[in-house]
Amino acid sequence: MDSINLNTILTQISQSLGLDGKIIWTSSTIITLFISVILLLATMYTLMPILKSAVSEHRLKKAVRKLGRESIRNVILPDGVGGNIFIDYLVLSTHNIIVVILKRYRGTIFCADNIELWTQLLGKRSFKFHNPLQQNDADIQSLRHLLPATSIEGIVLFHGECEFPKGKPERVRSVSEILLSDTEKNSAVQPDLLDSWQQLKETIVKYKPDDGFVTSYFRRKVDFQKIIMPGVFVFLLVGWLYLRIFF
């Protein structure tokens, strides 16, 4: 009875799709369809983290574009005292150059200007991390050694599903906040600021630190498990359909 009912349902679906008579719903066909659907759903499930990450990165790039006219990512520059500074983004706005520190945090964030350690809450777990505004200030000072006559400001940009229930410093922004804000880009960039920006880009291109750690600082580790699992299920799905169709 179950087999008859299933065949009836599948026949009705075929008729509604205009495939009546083109598909013969045998037991073998039903098994093939069932396993194919399972493999397809498994493939889609394993692809979700990759798709979510791609959407998240797109939102980040869109937010950075709203901050100014141009941007440079993953910047390494000399700090003026024999070391290096690592800047996630430099942004040219209409009035200044913005030094952006990127924090990929989610959950609840408790922070303030003069607190050395900030707190991240994830459910019942809590984590401490150093006040990124202090690093932002240090990066700004180092950049001012290279461009002493240029107006330079800084922000800490949080990228992730986070909230600040107790408020946050003025220089702390979130990607969602920037995307929802109205940004005015009609005013022209001042000529002297454009000259400083060009000088900065030339310095970045010319600066070639020898330290391997420095040059690999911005390389993100690849999670091969996120890549391998979807590939395995795609291979199984294609292989299964190939066997069922041609053999």
Question: Does residue 54 form part of some domain?
Answer: no
Is residue 160 within 8 Å of 131, Cβ to Cβ? no
Query: What does pTM read for this prediction?
Result: 0.76
pLDDT at residue 220 in the model:
62
- For residues 123 and 178, state if they share a domain: yes
- In the three-class reduction of DSSP (H, G, I as helix; E, B as strand; rest coil), residue 123 is classed as coil
Average pLDDT value over all residues in the chain: 83
- In the three-class reduction of DSSP (H, G, I as helix; E, B as strand; rest coil), residue 187 is classed as coil
Average pLDDT over residues 9-38: 65
Question: Does residue 65 form part of some domain?
Answer: no
Question: Which residues span the domain enclosing 124?
Answer: 70-216
**Residue 201 is inside which H or E element, if any?**
helix 191-206
Which of 10-24, 116-130, 187-201 is predicted least confidently? Answer: 10-24
- For residues 35 and 99, state if they share a domain: no
Amino acid sitting at position 72? I
Instruction: Compute the distance between CA of residue 157 and CA of residue 103 in angstroms, rounded to an integer.
Output: 6
How many whole angstroms from its chain centre is CA 188? 30
Q: How many domains does the chain have?
A: 2
- For residues 108 and 171, state if they share a domain: yes
Give backbone dihedrals phi and psi of 89, rounded to 5 degrees, phi first. Answer: -145, 140
- For residues 148 and 76, state if they share a domain: yes
Instruction: Compute the distance between CA of residue 75 and CA of residue 113 in angstroms, rounded to an integer.
Output: 25
- For residues 37 and 130, state if they share a domain: no
The tokens 């719903």 sit on which residue? 25
Side-chain-side CA neighbours of residue 50 (13 Å): 15
- In the three-class reduction of DSSP (H, G, I as helix; E, B as strand; rest coil), residue 16 is classed as helix
Give backbone dihedrals phi and psi of 191, rounded to 5 degrees, phi first. Answer: -55, -40
The tokens 């369809």 sit on which residue? 33
Question: Does residue 55 form part of some domain?
Answer: no
Question: Does residue 63 form part of some domain?
Answer: no
Side-chain-side CA neighbours of residue 243 (13 Å): 12
- For residues 94 and 130, state if they share a domain: yes
- For residues 184 and 109, state if they share a domain: yes
- Does position 1 have pLDDT exceeding 50, yes or no? no
- For residues 211 and 172, state if they share a domain: yes
pLDDT band at 221 (very low <50, low <70, confident <90, very high): low
Is residue 94 within 8 Å of 221, Cβ to Cβ? no
Give Cα separations from 38 to 1, 17, 48, 121, 235 (angstroms): 24, 22, 16, 37, 13
